[in-house]
């Protein structure tokens, strides 16, 4: 009975996710809670919800056409070098200039340390590093 109530609650939570909130974190949390409830009961739901929220908030991979577009862009003449490692899910330094992807304003790109990097333009959070 506990599992049914917990799964119902998690499903209700996921139904409240709007486009503004559904960065993946809400969807990930709800999915993790459901899976955790099925596998481990109430404790599993709590752990699964937290893990799913963290995983869902990390990265939504860009569509293939965005990756193709960014790969085809030439590297700028002025090199950008960043000493910190470029990590998916972490923001770039604020002084790094990014260029919007014309057909998909949800993404922008830059070339850092000779690597094309796809970012969220609003937060500068790294979405994908193209080798």
pLDDT digits 0-9 by tens, 23-73: 445 545 555 555 555 666 666 555 555 655 555 455 688 999 999 999 999
Q: What pTM was computed for the model?
A: 0.56
Does residue 131 contact residue 115 with C-beta atoms inside 8 Å?
A: yes
Residue 8 has pLDDT above 70, yes or no: no
- Mind listing the pLDDT tens digit for each residue in 76-112? 888 888 888 999 999 999 899 999 999 999 999 999 9
Mean pLDDT of the 105-126 span: 94
Q: For residues 56 and 26, is the Cβ–Cβ distance under 8 A?
A: yes
Q: Do the beta carbons of residue 58 and residue 89 sit within 8 Å?
A: yes
β 99-100/108-112 pair status? antiparallel
Helix (H) or strand (E) holding 112: strand 108-112
How sure is the predictor about 15, in pLDDT bands with cuts at 50, 70 and 90? very low
User: How many CB atoms within 10 Å of residue 66?
Assistant: 20
Q: What is the pLDDT of residue 71?
A: 94
pLDDT score of 77? 82
> What angle do helix axes 2-15 and 25-58 make, rounded to 10 degrees?
80
């Amino acid at each position: 009975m506990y599992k049914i109530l917990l799964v119902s609650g998690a499903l209700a939570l996921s139904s409240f996710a709007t486009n503004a909130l559904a960065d993946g974190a809400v969807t990930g949390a709800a999915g993790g809670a459901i899976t955790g409830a099925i596998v481990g009961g109430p404790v599993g739901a709590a752990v699964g919800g937290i893990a799913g929220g963290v995983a869902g908030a990390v990265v939504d991979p860009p569509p293939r056409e965005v990756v193709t577009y960014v790969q085809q862009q030439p590297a700028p003449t002025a090199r950008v070098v960043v000493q910190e490692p470029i990590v998916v899910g972490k923001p770039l330094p604020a002084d790094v200039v990014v260029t919007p992807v014309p057909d998909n304003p949800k993404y922008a790109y830059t070339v850092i340390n000779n690597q094309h990097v796809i970012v969220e333009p609003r937060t500068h959070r790294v979405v994908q590093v193209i080798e």
